Amino acid sequence: MKRKSQAKNKTATLAAALAIGLAGALGAAPARAQHGPTGLALAQQENCMSCHSVTRNFMGPALRDVAAKYAGKPDAQAYLTHKILEGSTGVWGTVPMPANTQLNPSQAAQLASWVLTLK
């Protein structure tokens, strides 16, 4: 009788784990879709790549250089998010980066996070 009880408990535990795993997987798919485009796609969509390249200096600095400059700094993501939204002058030369008023703070943060992965 004890063996049947143990087998039922194992089966119930496995079924519960499977149900939780499936619920998590099914719940995760819509969440990913809600995040919108990837960092690169968003950068292309919002015309960041008109002045920036990932690997080479153009009108603006190479995004890998930006990532390297701010790598390891605790406030890097917040700093870059602010610069993306508000623009800047003189940080990377004489060409100013215009404010990106078409972006919301979440999009700017997504771009900043993506840039920081490029190092």
Dihedral (CA of 54, 56, 58, 60) sign: positive
| Token reading at 69 | 């400059």
Provide the H-helix boundaries in 1-119: 2-34, 39-45, 63-70, 76-86, 105-116
Task: Say if residue 52 carries a ligand binding annotation.
Answer: yes
Task: Say if residue 48 carries a ligand binding annotation.
Answer: yes
Task: Say if residue 97 carries a ligand binding annotation.
Answer: yes
**Which residues contribute to the annotated binding site?**
48, 52, 97
Please give the annotated binding residues for heme c, written as ranges: 48, 52, 97
